[in-house]
A and B are shown apart, each in its own frame.
Chain A
Amino acid sequence: MTCSARLLQGNEACALAGVDAGARFYAGYPISPASEIAEMCSQILPQHGGIYVQMEDEIGSIAAVIGASLGGLKAFTATSGPGLSLMQENIGFALMAEVPCVIINVQRFGPSTGIATRPSQGDVMAARWGTHGDHSIIVLSPSSVQECYDLTVEAFNLAERFRAPVIVLTDATIAHLREKIEIPDELKLVERLKPEGPVENYRPFAPGAGGVPVIPNYGDKYILRVTGLVHDEEGYPSADPQVAGQLIERLAAKIERFRDELPQPLFYGEENAKVVLVSYGISARAAKQAVSIAVNEKLSVGMLQLQTLWPFPEEQVKKACAAAEAVLVIEMNRGQIMERVKACGLFPPRRISSVSRTDTGIITPTQVLTAIRGVAG
């Protein structure tokens, strides 16, 4: 496959990837450090026959994105922590109503307004559990500008395949980092399935292949009823316990059954190592660097870089840590993924500790290396 090289910052790569993946609608609200995504979309979307609309807030932005998606356009928005908080109710709506859409969340230092220009990885749990109610959700985490591009394209594909919102968690550092990336001339894109068969009595929410229904777009001759209420296969509201139970199970299962087909963790360093690092996003860059130095020092170290944070790749983590005496989780928060690694119930129990940083700076290779030497010695 032929590629063309571009020098881009992370935000630009996300915007470009969206348009390349077929997005023709962007709705957003200005917020640092995500604004370049909106700026770029406002410029390039009209050139591709698409639409940029600047809404009155983030609640309206994700609502407009959901509306456009139901009208048949691939649609996305970008924001940062405070905006993610505002979008949460409608992210839950998109999960419940099975509306494909992509949310790029450029993590900044929080909570609250925090520090708008400084990075963090503090939204890992907000992305997982920020909207109320029981649910499963896909969250991807790029660690480079190349991955910003690749995983944003993948996010659109997964959103269409599973008919669900997908969150891409970047951060203030990758967002503004400039790197050379390779953009493939041809991308494998997933397009929405179209209903077939008789128009009358079509059931838009009847589970199709893999539990994913084939839902018409508004304006199609197939009539579409959409609601955030518990609904039956026709789309009518229902308070039937059986309907509710089956719906909630299906919405989670349609994603979790296929967790092995989501972007898989990348492994670096020595297999069956004594020290295993688990990291993701910008922190994985420092971890990777530290691992290569440690391997040169003949230390027994391996590393797993998570690309999909949720659903959590539990089996891969267990496998990678099978021979480890110590597990280090490298992340810029107070242990949000570390707690999840602990919950894997590694057997026999062993030391799982956190290499973290929560002072607005990014984790350095030296910090990780010191931690490796500490447990490897």
Chain B
Amino acid sequence: MNYEEYLAKNRLPHLWCPGCGNGITLKALLLALAEMGLKREEVLLATGIGCSGRAGEYVNFHSFQGTHGRTLAFATGINLARPELKIICLMGDGDCAAIGAGHFLHAARRNIDLTALVINNFNYGMTGGQFSPLTPAGSLTSTSHSGKVEGIMDLCRLAETAGANYVARTTVFHAPELKNFILEAIAKKGFSFVEVLSPCPTYYGRYNKIGGPVKLMEWLKNNTVPLKKFEQMEKEDKGRLFWRGKLADRNARDFFTAYLEQERGGRNQ
């Protein structure tokens, strides 16, 4: 199948800024769906609130946009009602890691059968470039004029600890790897999580004087190292680098399957 068959071309042009990474992630997702040969009615894109949250408008299969931070809780209900649906929850870093952090941990812990895809652009883009929980310390944003005071948290490690079946991180610069991770995540039964580091030239790149879209792509390339290499590095060398790669890949029973076996004695409907 061709990825364009999932694209709502009549809704283009999209509202994202030139040089934004959201389109690359959306394309990677559609490429993965095409490679898997999924039918339109078999897939649901659930999004959060924010720039990436508008992605549902550009696909021609089932889409859902709920309230800020709650995507995974809504999707929990959808999954349990329609377990055969492939659900992809596309969220931003503010949406998933701040207001939605509780739902993220518990969806991973329950091992709900869906794919959580977080575009981490290091700030709240839609509201004007405020810092998010995933904005690196010291970064300049519209609410941290002398540098962000707080530190970050690692969503990948959290997901792994909480019980996700699949955890991976990459960037939009590594587009083929991104597509492969998304494909593996969708194919995996249980909770899958992929974090995508992504450029926001309009706010994060500009405020931190990293440069335009091309420079931001270089920044993503130069500031990430493969997980294996990262683990062998000395602590002081890790500095502000991000690892990329696969952190977890296991096959624990997802919530619906476990519920069916235990509470219903295997009976479905």
Contacts and interface: CB of A to CB of B under 8 A. Distances in A.
Interface range for B:
35 or more
B81 A72 contact: yes
A93 B61 CA distance: 21
A299 interface: no
A220 B82 CA distance: 10
Q: Which of A63, A66, A224 has the most CB of B within 10 A?
A: A63
Contact of B85 (A25, A63, A218, A236): A218
A290 B239 CA distance: 77
Interface stretch (B90-98, B189-197, B218-226, B261-269): B261-269
A218 B70 contact: no
Interface stretch (B71-79, B124-132, B147-155, B245-253): B71-79
A46 interface: yes
A20 B145 CA distance: 58
Interface in A51-66: 51-53, 55-57, 59-61, 63-66
Contacts of B102: 56-57, 60
* Chief secondary structure at chain B's binding surface: helix
A223 B60 contact: yes
A68 B106 contact: no
Nearest to B65: A227
Contacts of B75: 67
A60 B63 contact: no
A63 B77 contact: yes
A40 B112 CA distance: 23
Interface range for A:
35 or more
Contacts of A130: none
A27 interface: yes
B11 interface: yes
Nearest to B110: A53
A53 B67 contact: no
B84 interface: yes
Given A65-B77, A67-B76, A90 B67 contact: yes
A195 interface: no
A223 B57 CA distance: 13
Contacts of B79: 67
Given A46-B264, A93-B66, A229-B65, A69 B41 contact: no
Interface in A197-239: 217-221, 223-229, 235-237
A148 B61 CA distance: 40
A71 interface: yes
Contacts of A69: 77, 81
Nearest to B60: A223
B106 A218 contact: no
Given A60-B106, A71-B81, A219-B85, A55 B76 contact: yes
Contacts of A224: 62-63
Given A71-B85, A219-B82, A237-B65, 19 more contacts: A53-B80, A53-B110, A57-B102, A63-B74, A64-B76, A66-B66, A67-B64, A67-B73, A67-B76, A67-B79, A67-B80, A69-B77, A70-B77, A71-B78, A72-B82, A73-B81, A217-B81, A228-B67, A235-B63
Interface of A: 25, 27, 46, 49, 51-53, 55-57, 59-61, 63-73, 75, 89-90, 93, 217-221, 223-229, 235-237
16 contacts: A49-B267, A53-B76, A60-B73, A60-B102, A67-B75, A67-B78, A67-B79, A70-B64, A71-B81, A75-B77, A218-B44, A219-B42, A219-B62, A229-B65, A237-B57, A237-B65
Interface of B: 11, 40-42, 44, 54, 56-57, 60-67, 70, 73-82, 84-85, 102-103, 105-106, 110, 255, 259, 263-264, 267-269
